[in-house]
Amino acid sequence: MRNLLIISDTHRDKDLMVELIKKYKGYKVIHCGDYCIDRALLKKYDITFVDGNCDAYDDNLEHLIEVDNKKLFITHGHTYRVKMGYMNLYYRAIELSCDYVFFGHTHEACIFSDNGIIFVNPGSLKYGRTYAVVEDGKAMIKEI
């Protein structure tokens, strides 16, 4: 599968976000919300993004995309109450027949698998200084 850079919860730290995007040039970039900046910058870098609870918009809360025959579900996670657990998100992923689920909101990085679905929360780029990559189909959490 194509290499992916997954970030979330940048909370206005556009310099750190851009620095990371340049480091991972050629990767498809996914932002799981709480970007808190003008969407124009996200579009400039061809970032697939969703809105989080701190963003000025709420008309783009989730995406289902396909990359190299893998279904990727992207959401911030607040509408699925991920701070209370992952069951709602899990059932949505089952409903959509996803291979990967990318979400944020908790500011805590984690990767887990359930029923063949890989769940990735890259944590907060701004506050935890973490992000995730998927390289050759393997998801990993990284720190700046």
CA dist., res. 97 & res. 95, Å (int): 6
The pLDDT of residue 1 = 78
Total of domains in the chain? 1
Quote the Cα angle for 19-130-144, to 5°: 50
The pLDDT of residue 132 = 98
pTM for the full model?
Answer: 0.96
Three-state secondary structure of the chain: CCCEEEECCCCCCHHHHHHHHHHCCCCEEEECCCCCCCHHHHHHCCCEECCCCCCCCCCCCEEEEEECCEEEEEECCHHHCCCCCCHHHHHHHHHHCCCEEECCCCCCCEEEEECCEEEEECCCCCCCCEEEEEECCEEEEEEC
Cross-strand pairs, 64: 73
CATH code for position 44: 3.60.21.10
Q: What is the pLDDT along the chain (144 residues), one digit of tens a residue?
A: 799 999 999 999 999 999 999 999 999 999 999 999 999 999 999 999 999 999 998 899 999 999 999 999 999 999 999 999 999 999 999 999 999 999 999 999 999 999 999 999 999 999 999 999 999 999 999 999
The pLDDT of residue 30 = 98
Q: Which is it for strands 100-102 and 117-121: parallel, antiparallel or unpaired?
A: parallel
Domain residue limits at 26: 4-143
Q: How far is CA 104 from CA 68, 98, 122, in A?
A: 23, 17, 7
